[in-house]
Structure 1
Amino acid sequence: MASTLMKDAPGQGNAAGGGKTFFGHPRGLATLFMTEMWERFSFYGMRALLVYYLISGGPDGAEEGLQGGGLAMTAAMASSIYAVYLAMVYLLAVPGGWFGDRLWGPRKTVAIAGGVIMAGHFTLAVPGAPAFFIGLGLVALGSGLLKANISTMVGQLYAGPQDPRRDGGFTLFYIGINLGAFGAPFVIGTVGETVSWHAGFALAGVGMALGLVQFLIGTKHLDPRSSVVPNPLSPQERARCRKKGLGWLLAAATCCGVVVASGAFSLDRVLLPITLLGLIVPVVVLTRIKRDKELTGAEQARMSGYIWFFIAAAAFWMIYDQGGSTLSVFAAGSTAGELFGFDFPATWFQALNPLFVMALAPVLAWLWLWLARRRQEPGTAVKFAMALLCIGGSFFVFLLPMAAAADGSKVSPMWLVSIYLVQTVGELCLSPVGLSVTAKLAPAKYGSRMMGVWFLSVTAGNCVTSLLGLANVDLSGGGAVTAEAVLAAIAGLGIFMYRKRIAALTEG
């Protein structure tokens, strides 16, 4: 597929010296584009099935009209597992970057990550709870390793930040992400929901296998720096890391053994410490950076401003990521799977977000530039406030179809289309802006690590959702949806009211 997108363009090759390009970009971008597209295809396809598989076979699954063969969990527990899974993907991106920087280099780390993800999906294809949790852990681990390193290799294809093709290259790469996410629900979702959950998980594994094979074939087109370990561990550091790793592994194995042997094992007792870890790590990381005495006064002030953005982002992701859990459950049980006489599976709703991203991202990018030329572009704090008001507003809208379906009737699918549309507008106001503000406000000492800190906002938000699920809060109930909508609206208004103070903290 990538070869059909190539064309001859002498003089525009990459550093490796290739003569062909990918839409005028280094040929290695085609390799990374396809790798990320297939990885996202597998990731979002499995994600579309995850909550449905967890609740199928139980009362909540029967209520939503799903086929059997799942793990028969409650919707609350399924939402907690889903949230913890997403949280761990982004939490593991931090050590994933460490592996690329200090142990294997980006290219080798991505190859290993692809193999781990593929193994995880094929393990999910094996029936039974033990295989499910092992597979889910492998997918989370591999996704964290890949996420932290593949973007680095995209940047290495260009001659520094001033290369005029660089921004366009990342835009093409971003399209690959959304193409994979868009196609996955139609293929993996349909097979998993209508034929067999495990056949769907196996298809996700096939998708990752395709991505891994073409990555290994196309590595010759990547920049040679992708094979270099930027800051390799010394022999002494390797020995220390090995010793610490074995120590932690032994401690974890001992704790698990004691819990299982005592008969006190339960899923809640496994999820709770993982969830708390996902909340503690961001707090510890931000506190350590904020209290670093080597930072200048200006850097300290900027970190104070950045914490506002981090908390706002965590609140946003807490609601946004329920698009694959709370909204998915509503899609299966209370939304008509028919439009204009055409029937479709509930997993297809998961294709709406990537579709809207591809359609609206260029529009918003143009809008910000158009406003900037007129000196009217909203500041970062205002964009964050807009994002929070959008995500809160989407849940206020959600209350209307919830009320209409309270008597057991099915509502129009256009309600969910509207909700996902509003949420995507909010995402485009926050996600790219958040990456930008992280780079701008990062202290010089923590330039690279701050990108990992930004991803921890996703971890924190999803861990809050997991805690609510573990506390048996009905996230699909009107009370919880109202509370989350009000919380987001208050946070958005708070950011807007204090925008001048935030701007003063982040000045310069």
Structure 2
Amino acid sequence: MISTSEASPPGRTFFGHPWGLSTLFMTEMWERFSYYGMRALLAVYLAAPVSEGGLGFPTSTAIAIFSVYLSMVYLLTLPGGWVSDRFLGPRKSVTVACVIIMIGHFLLAVPTEGFFFAGLFFVAVGSGLVKANISTMVGHLYQGALEWRRDSAFTIFYMGINLGAFFAPLVIGTIGQKVGYHLGFAVAGVGMALGLVQYLLGRRSLSPHSDLVPAPLDAAQRAALVKKGLLWLLVPVVLYAVVVLSGHYTLNWVVVPLTIIGLVFPAWTLFRIRRDPELTVPERQRMTAYVWLFVAAAIFWMIYDQGGSTLNIFAAKNTDTTFAGIDFPSSWFQSLNPLFIMALGPVFAWLWQWLAARHKEPSTPAKFAVGLILVGLSFVVFLPALAAAANGNLVSPLWLCAIYLVQTVGELCLSPVGLSVTTKLAPEKYGSQMMGVWFLAVTAGDCVTSLASLAGANLDGRPFVVAEVTVAVVVGLVILLFRKRISSRFVGHH
């Protein structure tokens, strides 16, 4: 048994946890504040007329850019983890990431299209680097006798994520829509700057393990990497130089290749892992089951992430933003999801434990199926709102509230379960990489949305919404039907 003295962290504490948790909590809260604040404005800014301070892109182009940007944030978690493992270590990686994100937001604040897209690139790179490392650093605080506090620590840490995500649209969204989009982006940069200062001031409270580079490259490996990197970089530089100088460059020369990469890379990664000859037969069977769940997750995120694009633009253009006599910016709708998560997350945690104690907890595939069906049904709620807005009418904000509520319940059934099952089904060889593979489901789903937009699909049109509902519900029902067969392949997981 662990004694009280062994189980308690030494020195200053944060809700009974090591003080380092407060440093990471506040850093993540400010990073998420900057990220979700910018995200709440992004699609609206892209689609807003130039006369209103936006870029004036067609809705389909705005959704495609938003979706590709989101997909790259999650795709870049893989190289973000690699950079930490081979070059910088987690602590330095997060420092560099915060600086890159801050620069990105301030570039977004410059009222020039070129600076804007450069800013998106910086924020995506920095966000990928943060996501790959900051959760790892939380884990580093809980070694030995403090291991039993780990789950509680992550609960507190994720509250920081949702607090930042909740307040960001209320602050940054209001400034962006009521004063000016670029000032809103600048405030996001200030938020990240506060997070960086707080992180640097509290860096001594972090675990020494976070300073270590797990598998550093030697001099020869670094030289070879630089040589290969420059050669690979030369190819797109020459290609795009030719395209620009010949006068053929359009935005699609960036969006389309990134969309294709975001679809091909996840498929190739799963195929490569599944066909690895070093995998045992049980591991290969578990990966087959995982592919089912991965596809379900990709479909889920395809619909869910339109909350920041399709639904966000619908809120700005077609929704009455007055309620009980209060006039509010449409970006405030983006605060609903984190609010619902904070309210319902503890309820679901209790519910699963209550059902498990009675041997009635649904299986992982069943939870996935429910989550997928719910996100499909959320767009069933979207259909009457679309019909009501067909003649230029402003619809009640309660429609969007209902959609986001149903989506959040679906998220709580699928997302935490997906993180858990990924660690359970991961082959031994790929144990440290599989969390990045899980994030690729978001990349794949968002790139499907981008591809549909680029192909000319009207994402807020009735036919496409009905198609999305059908795909989500049918795939959810299929997984529900075959849940026992899928679960049988989980046997023997570590």
Which residue number corresponds to residue 316 of structure 2?
A: 332
1:22 aligns with 2:14: yes
Cα distance in 1 for residues equivalent to 2:178 and 2:40: 13
Q: Given the alignment, which residue of 431, 435, 440 partners 1:447?
A: 431
* TM-superposition CA deviations, 1:260-310 (whole Å, max 9, x none): 011111111221111000111111111111011111100010000000000
Q: Is residue 103–residue 119 contact of structure 2 (8 Å, CA) maintained in 1?
A: yes
* Percent of aligned positions that are identical: 60
* TM-superposition CA deviations, 1:425-466 (whole Å, max 9, x none): 001111110010000000001001011000000000000000
Cα distance in 2 for residues equivalent to 1:195 and 1:490: 44
Which residue number corresponds to residue 307 of structure 1?
A: 291
Which residue number corresponds to residue 331 of structure 2?
A: 347
In the TM superposition, residue 55 of structure 1 has moved relative to its aligned partner by 1.2
Cα distance in 1 for residues equivalent to 2:11 and 2:7: 7
1:228 aligns with 2:219: no
Which residue number corresponds to residue 59 of structure 2?
A: 75
In the TM superposition, residue 106 of structure 1 has moved relative to its aligned partner by 0.1
Cα distance in 2 for residues equivalent to 1:443 and 1:175: 30
Give the letter aligned to residue 387 of structure 1: G
Which residue number corresponds to residue 461 of structure 2?
A: 477
1:203 aligns with 2:154: no
* TM-superposition CA deviations, 1:69-115 (whole Å, max 9, x none): 21110010000000000000000000000011110000000000000
Give the letter aligned to residue 271 of structure 2: T
* TM-superposition CA deviations, 1:389-445 (whole Å, max 9, x none): 100000011001111111211111111101000000001111110010000000001
The 10-residue stretch of structure 1 (498-507 or 39-48) with the greater mean CA deviation from structure 2: 498-507
Cα distance in 2 for residues equivalent to 1:256 and 1:145: 26
1:400 aligns with 2:384: yes
Cα distance in 1 for residues equivalent to 2:320 and 2:48: 19
1:44 aligns with 2:36: yes
1:84 aligns with 2:84: no
Q: Is residue 13–residue 27 contact of structure 1 (8 Å, CA) maintained in 2?
A: no
Give the letter aligned to residue 448 of structure 1: S
Instruction: Kindly report which structure 2 residues correspond to 1:50-199, keeping only aligned pairs within 5 A, or say none.
Output: 50-57=42-49, 68-160=52-144, 163-199=147-183
In the TM superposition, residue 186 of structure 1 has moved relative to its aligned partner by 0.7
Which residue number corresponds to residue 477 of structure 2?
A: 493
Please state whether the residue corresponding to 2:202 is helix, strand or coil: helix
In the TM superposition, residue 13 of structure 1 has moved relative to its aligned partner by 5.7
Q: Is residue 40–residue 180 contact of structure 1 (8 Å, CA) maintained in 2?
A: yes
Closer, same or farther: CA 402–213 of 1 in aligned 2, 3 Å: same
Give the letter aligned to residue 231 of structure 1: A
Q: Is residue 39–residue 211 contact of structure 1 (8 Å, CA) maintained in 2?
A: yes
Which residue number corresponds to residue 248 of structure 1?
A: 232
Give the letter aligned to residue 446 of structure 1: Y
In the TM superposition, residue 12 of structure 1 has moved relative to its aligned partner by 5.9
Please state whether the residue corresponding to 1:507 is helix, strand or coil: coil
1:274 aligns with 2:274: no
* TM-superposition CA deviations, 1:132-165 (whole Å, max 9, x none): 1000000000000010000000000002597221
Cα distance in 1 for residues equivalent to 2:486 and 2:25: 37
Which residue number corresponds to residue 402 of structure 2?
A: 418
Cα distance in 1 for residues equivalent to 2:491 and 2:145: 23
Cα distance in 1 for residues equivalent to 2:435 and 2:118: 28
Which residue number corresponds to residue 391 of structure 1?
A: 375
Cα distance in 1 for residues equivalent to 2:227 and 2:144: 38
Cα distance in 2 for residues equivalent to 1:271 and 1:439: 32
Q: Is residue 387–residue 430 contact of structure 1 (8 Å, CA) maintained in 2?
A: yes
Q: Is residue 8–residue 146 contact of structure 2 (8 Å, CA) maintained in 1?
A: no
Cα distance in 2 for residues equivalent to 1:19 and 1:11: 13
Closer, same or farther: CA 160–148 of 1 in aligned 2, 3 Å: farther
Give the letter aligned to residue 245 of structure 2: A
Q: Is residue 13–residue 21 contact of structure 1 (8 Å, CA) maintained in 2?
A: no
User: Any stretches of 5+ residues in structure 2 without a counterpart?
Assistant: none
Q: Is residue 47–residue 313 contact of structure 2 (8 Å, CA) maintained in 1?
A: no
Closer, same or farther: CA 400–293 of 1 in aligned 2, 3 Å: same
In the TM superposition, residue 10 of structure 1 has moved relative to its aligned partner by 7.5
Closer, same or farther: CA 24–12 of 1 in aligned 2, 3 Å: farther
Which residue number corresponds to residue 302 of structure 2?
A: 318
Q: Is residue 12–residue 25 contact of structure 1 (8 Å, CA) maintained in 2?
A: no
Give the letter aligned to residue 43 of structure 2: V
Cα distance in 2 for residues equivalent to 1:160 and 1:258: 57
Q: How many residues align?
A: 489
The 10-residue stretch of structure 1 (229-238 or 314-323) with the greater mean CA deviation from structure 2: 229-238
Give the letter aligned to residue 46 of structure 2: L
Instruction: Kindly report which structure 2 residues correspond to 1:450-469, keeping only aligned pairs within 5 A, or say none.
Output: 450-469=434-453
Which residue number corresponds to residue 357 of structure 1?
A: 341
* TM-superposition CA deviations, 1:302-338 (whole Å, max 9, x none): 0000000000000000000000011011111111101
Which residue number corresponds to residue 23 of structure 2?
A: 31
User: Any stretches of 5+ residues in structure 1 without a counterpart?
Assistant: 1-8, 59-66
Give the letter aligned to residue 36 of structure 1: E
1:214 aligns with 2:192: no
* TM-superposition CA deviations, 1:104-133 (whole Å, max 9, x none): 000000000000000000000001110110
Closer, same or farther: CA 298–162 of 1 in aligned 2, 3 Å: farther
Cα distance in 2 for residues equivalent to 1:34 and 1:11: 26
Cα distance in 1 for residues equivalent to 2:107 and 2:138: 30
RMSD: 1.3
Cα distance in 2 for residues equivalent to 1:305 and 1:133: 39
